[in-house]
Amino acid sequence: MVMETYGQSAVRPRRPEPWAHPAEASHEPHWHEEYAYEPSEHRWLDDQRLTQALGWFSIGIGLTELLAPRALGRAIGVGDHPAVFRMLGVRELVSGACLLSGRSPAVWAWSRVAGDAMDLTLLGAALRAPKAQAERIAVAGAVVLGAAALDVYAGQRLMRREISPPQVRVSEVVSINASPEELYTFWKKLDNLPRFMQHVQSVSRTNDRISHWVAKAPAGATIEWDAEIIDDQPNARLGWRTLPDSEIRHEGAVSFVRGAGGRGSIVHCELFYQPPVGRLGAALSSLLGEEPRKQINDDLRRLKQLIETGEVATTLGQPAGRRSLIGRVALGRRLQ
């Protein structure tokens, strides 16, 4: 029999921002929200900022070519060709405006690559002119090559984002009668995690930052992945993400903040993950009782029991009426 009732649903005064500090969230026992198609906010380089940077760069180059074509031509050593520079300026302004609009950014990033190829071709032609200033043209070519490398990187990155499966955000908060220091120390000791994470079979440390995980999956299968710690604030926060070659892709963070009046702590766990086969896979996992939102909710409840009472109560071994076929399919694995 479950030893205590875990929390009550409550209306929050406002929705905390993704990855917000737990002190900014509601202090109700628990809550969760789920969002589809939401980009992770802990990527090494934010895609939206990359797109905006490219857009404003294009705008700046385009305005220079459009408003000062002769001065720019003399500066890079190709002479006076105002008509050509104005044409290139219009191209840059169009690319910049479309990038800033946020619509199909990968397409417009690749259009910049095509524009870079055009610029290199024109510089090569200018280099063969009788009065060409080879040194200046070479410097201009190097600058264009650098911009082309950035544009190729941006195009590849934004293309992966557009074709990647939808991401889902899960966020849970629970209050536990223990200090942040105790909870941080308990969580960071990896062999403690399977004690309250029901679906985790084992966690082994590879080095100071990387660990190997084995967990139960639907239909009795197992799944493995490697994860690395990307944010470690002693007694306050732990953040992680899976390595690129892992079978599943997710990242998240858990934070520990002292409760109001110094009583206990608020534990905030947030996860971004890509469900198998997109949203259809998420719905199927939910039916089988393996959907991460339910897992995190249940895991935090077990963590609360384990810290406050020293054990996790279960219903195993207790008599119960036989469930229907639908009940066994939909609920059976949740009670294992």
Query: 158-169: per-residue pLDDT in tens?
Result: 877 655 555 678
Per-residue pLDDT tens digits for 195-209: 999 888 999 999 989
Give mean pLDDT, residues 284-304: 72
pLDDT at 167: 65
Percent of the chain past pLDDT 90, that is, above it, reads 38
Q: What is the mean pLDDT of residues 33-54?
A: 57
How confident is the model at residue 130, as a pLDDT? 82
Residue holding tokens 């985790």? 200
Q: Is the Cβ–Cβ distance between 272 and 36 less than 8 Å? A: no
Q: How confident is the model at residue 219 (pLDDT cuts 50, 70, 90)?
A: low
- pLDDT score, position 262: 87
Domain 22-40+167-335, architecture per CATH: 2-Layer Sandwich (3.30)
Determine the pLDDT at residue 184: 96
**Alpha-carbon torsion (86, 90, 96, 100), positive or negative:** positive
Is the pLDDT confidence value at 269 over 60? yes
Confidence band (pLDDT; 50, 70, 90) for 23? very low
Amino acid at 33: E
**In whole angstroms, what is the distance from residue 272 CA to residue 165 CA?**
12
Query: 104 to each of 54, 116, 147, how far by Cα in Å?
Result: 13, 19, 20
> What per-residue confidence (pLDDT) applies to 80?
85
Contact by Cβ (8 Å): 81, 68: no
Place 104 in a pLDDT band, splitting at 50, 70 and 90: confident
Residue 244 pLDDT? 80
Predicted TM-score (pTM) of the model is 0.48
The CA-to-CA distance between both ends of the chain, in Å, stands at 14
- In the prediction, which pLDDT does 258 show? 95
Report the share of the chain in percent with pLDDT over 70: 70
